Amino acid sequence: MYQYKILIAVLVFSIFGCTSKDQKTVDNPLNQRASLGLTDERNLEISKLVDTILDTMSLNTKVMTLTGKSSVPYLKHGEAISGYNIKGATTLPQQIGISCSWNPDLLKINTGYTSRMMRDLGITLALSPMLDVSRNAKWGRMEESFGESEYLTSRMGLAFINGMQTEDLSKGVATTTKHFAGYGGKNLDDREFLEEILMPHEVAVRLGNTQSVMPGYHAYKNIPAHASSFLLKDILRKKWGYDGIIVSDYFAIKQINTSYKYAKNKLEALVIALKNGVDLELPNPDCYLLIPMALEKGLISINDVDSAVKRILTLKGRLGFLQKPLEVKANVELDSKAFRNRAYLSATQSIVLLKNNGILPLEKELKKIALVGPNAASAESLLGDYTYQSLQLYWEKQPIDPLNPKLFTLLDGLKDRLGKSTEILYERGCDWTESDNSQKVKPVIGDERENNVIELQSDYSTDYNKAIDYASKSDVIIAAMGENRYLCGESRSRSDIRLAGKQEEFVKDLIATGKPVILIIFGGRPHVLTAIEKECAAIVQAWYPGEEGGNALADILIGKVNPSAKMTVTVPRSNEQCPIWYGSGYKKKKPLYPFGHGLSYTEFSYGDFDIDNQSTTDDDYINVRFSISNTGKMDGSEIPQLYISAKGLSMPRPMLSLQGFTRLDLKKGEKKYITFKVSPEQLAFYDKDMNLVIEPGNYDFLIGASSTDIKASTTVKLIGKTKHLPIKNKYFSETLIN
């Protein structure tokens, strides 16, 4: 597909022949399983204690354990996708934004902070992360995902888990990886499901050692996920050897009956769920209260009940509070200076510069800036779904408190950074939606949300003509557009992902003033911007950037921070292109911006390419070597990406598959050498008989700054016999930097 060719140079020892102590192994050992401090001795101790406790439990206590209400002891849970969602706690960028940092280490440190906070508050089960591979921008929950690549999602998910559970689970918080499996995707064929959609979950279980798994609200092959023996027993427990707990999504066991009609009543729904290994019913006792009746009727056995109870007790033992009471602190700092600094750093690394004609960074000599749009000064622009403030606004109709934690909007950030040297003319100009004040959504199977008319307008006033007047008087226009929680989030899928309401028309009128327009898009998905993209001087994808979002954006706009983020989802050119993802090679679907795209204020040069052009199916690694230099005028960060494209194998393969990446900080004039060490196991796929194999053949290895900006490629000939694998053990490339 790509016609790029390179000459493999004869490289002298001084370039890549350094000793191992001169090289920094960045991503190693990614392919090792987290032990969580669970030694054989400790596991035996926990097992004996669990058996002792189980022998003393009444049936009622067991039922309460399976509904999360047992005091033996109580397992408290909470959401943690962008920090713990409690009033006043640090609010990080939404997960889709964090993914655009391509920085697993950033995420691991963040979740370590969240874990310590939750543990101090007595919360030991996080209902995060979400590992759904998301390839359709129309889906409302794309914002909670790590994007469209199974490889990147797996890397980021693993980092989330490792930070949250810590190296010693008795001091950490158990993660719940969700939504198992295939949630948000339609018409998945078996190979796509097994090779791509399952990969993040497989990595979470086999490498991350996640302690809790949540099935989705969806059905797989017409069977509700909570009732699927194929998913929960054959894949999760038998194939992957999972021994943690399975928790229900909220009200999902009941929905086996009420929504899917797969069960005749709640009693049958409980039987199906329990027999398929769903241990814990959330959020409240409901179907599982019928366990005594199910036992009496002989529909389940006491062994079914005890097996589930044992798994929950075992988790409590692993968390360390089955042996002794959980230490809960009286005074916990919810938004410490250190954690707020993490929120700022995360936002700066999440914000993607999509387009720049040279207008950014802003000149210091600017006298007037027009700041317009519904997201210019709104706290809603900062907060994704499952943040405390968003949930309170949505469910309780409580207005957002911008002081708890302190939320910095774009207007706040620009005022602080620019001071009195530049006049900011602020006017919203338009609202998020049309003046009819509503957004109609169709009822969906999911949590019990309001599925009719949702009020979108707040107490904000708008003056369209005043905003246009300000724009015409200014040196530059900053238009803050996009979505809020009511337009994007759970149960908020859209058929049209152009800017909602009058926003697109408003931007066109701003462009018509003849002043340069910097378009900033907030929200949880990419938008169709084709009608206005060419005429904008710059476009910034801000996502939901969290409590420090306004400060981070302002620093990027003025050049204090050099943007470094890259897209983890494709920006479609039209609604009709959805779903779209890079693995298709964009055949007949040229996107507006491709996967992996993101601009910097500096320039990078790739060179010194040296890729092993032959390897065997039994080799440990295929080495991919190259260098990157910062040839621009600013310090910056670059994210080189390794893609692989298979040729002429026995089964069709994706046109491109991301199989390696790293994030490099490069000072002005600095050069670094990178080696990706690719295991042949990363090339494995399911053959016509659905056996997992590494097949000899020709594989194109491509190094790029994005999925379409390919800097070099070569064909690697993989020789040897077809190698059958019972299961993968190596999922990721190792990275060496010197």
Claim to verify: residue 533 and residue 630 sit in the same structural domain:
no
**Mean per-residue pLDDT for 80-103?**
98
**CATH number of the domain encompassing residue 251:** 3.20.20.300
Nearest-angstrom CA–CA distance, 392 and 449: 13
Classify the C-alpha dihedral 312-315-320-326 as positive or negative.
Answer: negative
Whether residue 33 is predicted with pLDDT greater than 50 in this model: the reply is yes
Nearest-angstrom CA–CA distance, 611 and 324: 55
Whether residue 13 is predicted with pLDDT greater than 60 in this model: the reply is no
**CATH number of the domain encompassing residue 436:** 3.40.50.1700
Residue 528 lies in a domain: yes
DSSP per-residue codes, 507-555: HHHHHTTTS-EEEEEESSS--B-HHHHTT-SEEEEEES--TTHHHHHHH
Peptide bond into 179 cis (omega under 30): yes
The rounded percent of the chain whose pLDDT value lies above 70 is: 93
The least confident of 370-384, 421-435, 574-588 is 421-435
**Using one digit for the tens of pLDDT, what is the confidence trace for 402-420?**
999 999 999 999 999 999 9
Residue 417 lies in a domain: yes
Claim to verify: residue 46 and residue 17 sit in the same structural domain:
no
Nearest-angstrom CA–CA distance, 661 and 420: 42
CA 395 to chain centre: 24
- On whether the CB atoms of residues 140 and 493 are closer than 8 A, the answer is yes
Residue 313 lies in a domain: yes
**Mean per-residue pLDDT for 597-619?**
97
Give all strands (DSSP E) within 210-364, no chain letters.
212-215, 219-220, 223-224, 245-246, 352-356
- On whether the CB atoms of residues 179 and 221 are closer than 8 A, the answer is no
The rounded percent of the chain whose pLDDT value lies above 90 is: 86
Domain C-terminal end among 296, 318, 340 = 318
What are the residues whose beta carbons fall under 8 Å from the beta carbon of 144, sequence distance 6 or more? 81, 94, 95, 96, 130, 132, 384, 385, 386, 490, 524
DSSP per-residue codes, 5-30: --------HHHH---GGGSEESSTTT
Claim to verify: residue 411 and residue 539 sit in the same structural domain:
yes
Domain C-terminal end among 541, 565, 589 = 565
**Mean per-residue pLDDT for 32-51?**
97
Q: 């007949």: which residue's tokens?
A: 588
- On whether the CB atoms of residues 322 and 73 are closer than 8 A, the answer is yes
CA 155 to chain centre: 10
Buried b (16+ CB within 10 A) or exposed e, 99-118: bbbbbbebbbbbbbbbbbbb
- On whether the CB atoms of residues 522 and 544 are closer than 8 A, the answer is yes
Residue 586 lies in a domain: no
Whether residue 514 is predicted with pLDDT greater than 60 in this model: the reply is yes
Whether residue 119 is predicted with pLDDT greater than 90 in this model: the reply is yes
Claim to verify: residue 293 and residue 314 sit in the same structural domain:
yes
Domain C-terminal end among 565, 591, 621 = 565
**CATH number of the domain encompassing residue 631:** 2.60.40.10
CA-nearest of 117, 550, 36 to 315 is 36
Nearest-angstrom CA–CA distance, 236 and 108: 25
- pLDDT given at position 297: 98
The DSSP H or E segment spanning 336 is none
Residue 340 lies in a domain: no
Claim to verify: residue 506 and residue 438 sit in the same structural domain:
yes
How far is it between the farthest Cα atoms of the chain?
Answer: 81
Claim to verify: residue 558 and residue 613 sit in the same structural domain:
no
Claim to verify: residue 654 and residue 550 sit in the same structural domain:
no
- pLDDT given at position 587: 85
Nearest-angstrom CA–CA distance, 500 and 482: 7
Residue 335 lies in a domain: no
Secondary structure of 157-211 in the HEC alphabet? HHHHHHHHHCCCHHHCCEEEEEEECCCCCCCCCHHHHHHHHCHHHHHHHHCCCCC
Whether residue 434 is predicted with pLDDT greater than 50 in this model: the reply is yes
Claim to verify: residue 277 and residue 391 sit in the same structural domain:
no
Nearest-angstrom CA–CA distance, 281 and 273: 9
Nearest-angstrom CA–CA distance, 525 and 141: 9
**Using one digit for the tens of pLDDT, what is the confidence trace for 243-279?**
999 999 999 999 999 999 999 999 999 999 999 999 9
Claim to verify: residue 37 and residue 148 sit in the same structural domain:
yes
The least confident of 20-29, 71-80, 630-639, 727-736 is 20-29
Please report, for residues 157, 324, 500, the alpha-carbon distance to residue 182 in angstroms, rounded to integers and kept in the order given: 16, 39, 28
Pairing mode of beta strands 174-180, 223-224: unpaired
Claim to verify: residue 684 and residue 713 sit in the same structural domain:
yes
**Mean per-residue pLDDT for 567-586?**
96
- pLDDT given at position 279: 98
Domain extent at residue 551: 351-565
Whether residue 194 is predicted with pLDDT greater than 70 in this model: the reply is yes
| Alpha helix stretches (DSSP H) within 388-448 | 388-391, 410-418
Q: 């989802």: which residue's tokens?
A: 569
Claim to verify: residue 404 and residue 457 sit in the same structural domain:
yes
**Using one digit for the tens of pLDDT, what is the confidence trace for 350-380?**
999 999 999 999 998 899 999 999 999 999 9
Cα three-residue angle 264-270-276, rounded to 5 degrees: 110
Claim to verify: residue 679 and residue 633 sit in the same structural domain:
yes
Whether residue 553 is predicted with pLDDT greater than 80 in this model: the reply is yes
In single-letter form, the type of residue at position 17 comes to G
Token pair, residue 443, equals: 């009822």
- pLDDT given at position 21: 42
Residue 325 lies in a domain: no
Residue 129 lies in a domain: yes
Buried b (16+ CB within 10 A) or exposed e, 385-394: bbbbbbbbbb
**Using one digit for the tens of pLDDT, what is the confidence trace for 443-460?**
456 545 444 334 544 557
**Into how many domains does the chain fold?**
3
CA dihedral 245, 250, 253, 257 (to 10 degrees): -170
- Name the DSSP class of 235: I
